[in-house]
């Protein structure tokens, strides 16, 4: 991955969404998720996590909001995505093993 900063680059974020579509946001990060284990912390309904699951080997979406997690699970079922799990939790105290993910994403979390 390039170490070159790209501040100021215009990346069209798409229309009709209150947040950027997952493919736009993930594309901006410039990370090839193929074969990687991804944790999306503060995932909400899984907007980004569901997008990541298209390439990653597995995705864990963590959020304290049970309702949001339920909606995310339903959307995963609707889209036929099976390599994603939704789990209740908070960013500051994750009940997850050490060194268990290749990529951790905080999008709108900090």
Partner 1 sequence: MVDALQEAHRILVERGVFVDARPDSRVSARVRAKSARGTVIGTIGTQRPTKTDDLSSDKAVRDVLTRKLFRSRRRGRLWHAIPFEDVGELNDYLTDHLRFSKRVRWLAPASRRGPPLFVERAVRFEVLEKA
- Asked whether position 97 contacts partner 1 by CB under 8 A, the answer is yes
Q: Residue 30 interacts with partner 1 (CB under 8 A)?
A: yes
Cβ closest to partner 1, residue 24 vs residue 81 = 24
Q: Give the number of C-alpha atoms closer than 13 A to the C-alpha of residue 18, restricted to the C-beta side.
A: 2
Residue 67 found at the interface with partner 1 (CB under 8 A): no
Residue 79 has, within 13 A of its CA and on its CB side, a CA count of 17
Q: CA 67, CA 57: separation in Å to the nearest integer?
A: 25
C-alpha 83/C-alpha 73 separation (Å) is 11
If the CB atoms of residues 67 and 92 are measured against partner 1, the closer one turns out to be 92
Give residues in contact with partner 1 (CB under 8 A). Answer: 1-20, 24-25, 28-31, 39, 41, 91-94, 96-110
């Amino acid at each position: 991955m390039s170490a070159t900063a790209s501040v100021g680059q215009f990346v069209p974020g798409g229309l009709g969404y209150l947040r950027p579509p997952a493919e736009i946001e993930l594309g901006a990060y410039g990370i090839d998720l193929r074969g990687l284990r991804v944790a999306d912390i503060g995932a909400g309904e899984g907007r980004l996590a569901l997008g990541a699951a298209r390439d990653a080997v597995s995705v864990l979406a963590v959020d304290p909001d049970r309702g949001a997690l339920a909606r995310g699970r339903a959307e995963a079922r609707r889209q036929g995505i099976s390599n994603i799990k939704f789990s209740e939790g908070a960013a500051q105290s994750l009940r997850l093993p050490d060194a268990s993910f290749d990529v951790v994403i905080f999008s709108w979390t900090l």
